[in-house]
């Protein structure tokens, strides 16, 4: 599978999940994700399932409390002026949560599918304008720097006694200082790279050479998964 095929497949699945209005339609998209995980990842999808469930769980709890516990009926029943049932509200909550679960799951599955590639190699194989490719590479190169800036700023503020290392009301009062410190650190680092580091290392010219290679064409596997996603979307919309 190529990165271009993976992106087309992922966008098709996400579009199908967003457009689906019924629980059965979402079940079709979920079955497609399960087939992709089984064939492409060969049993290594448990981490993607766990992470997707962890993402959806807080929303599911909140929606159950609001719609099932408090409101007691679905939005369609409210719009129709019906008294409604908690069962219909539960179905509505499950539909919303399953939609989000599918979106999170397909993203995680595609990330795991290309875990053997570095971000640079993945972006190099995309069919996209060279400027966009360079922007993606340079943006991703800042992630570790930003995380380091967060850790360094937090350590400095904890040492100065401005925020506490654990849960504290002091953090609620002074947390904005951490945000401001991290923001100033990131801006300083970004300016230093743009003005000094990247020109000295001729980074942009080197990226032009690396990213200018043509992207590989879609494989038969790509077309099969794209066709399967299109068929699943049509079936989901027909139900």
pLDDT for position 109: 93
| Mean local confidence (pLDDT), 109-129 | 89
- Does the pLDDT value for residue 158 go beyond 90? no
pLDDT for position 7: 93
For the chain, give the percent of residues with pLDDT over 90: 24
| Mean local confidence (pLDDT), 175-202 | 82
| Mean local confidence (pLDDT), 86-100 | 88
The answer to whether 67 and 91 have CB atoms below 8 angstroms apart is no
Per-residue pLDDT of 29-61, as tens digits, reads 999 999 999 888 877 788 888 899 999 999 999
What's the residue count for the chain? 239
pLDDT for position 11: 94
Q: Single out the residue of 115, 103, 151, 133 nearest to residue 215, CA to CA.
A: 133
């Amino acid at each position: 599978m190529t990165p271009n095929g993976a992106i087309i497949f992922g966008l098709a699945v996400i579009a199908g999940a967003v457009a689906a209005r019924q629980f059965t339609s979402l079940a079709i998209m979920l079955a497609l994700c399960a087939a992709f995980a089984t064939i492409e990842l060969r049993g290594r999808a448990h981490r993607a399932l766990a992470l997707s469930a962890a993402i959806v769980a807080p929303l599911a709890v909140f929606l159950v409390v609001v719609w099932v516990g408090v409101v007691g009926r679905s939005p369609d029943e409210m719009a129709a002026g019906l008294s409604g049932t908690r069962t219909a509200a539960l179905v509505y909550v499950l539909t919303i949560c399953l939609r989000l679960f599918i979106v999170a799951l397909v993203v995680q599955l595609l990330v795991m599918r290309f875990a053997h590639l570095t971000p640079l190699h993945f972006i190099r194989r995309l069919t996209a304008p060279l400027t966009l490719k360079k922007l993606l590479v340079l943006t991703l190169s800042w992630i570790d720097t930003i995380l380091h800036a967060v850790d360094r700023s937090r350590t400095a503020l904890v040492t100065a006694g401005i925020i506490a290392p654990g849960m504290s009301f002091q953090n609620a009062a002074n947390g904005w200082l951490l945000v401001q410190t991290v923001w100033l650190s990131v801006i300083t680092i970004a300016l230093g790279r743009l003005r000094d580091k990247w020109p000295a290392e001729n980074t942009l010219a080197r990226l032009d050479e690396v990213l200018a290679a043509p992207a590989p064409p879609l494989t038969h596997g790509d077309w099969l998964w794209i066709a399967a996603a299109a068929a699943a979307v049509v079936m989901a919309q027909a139900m």
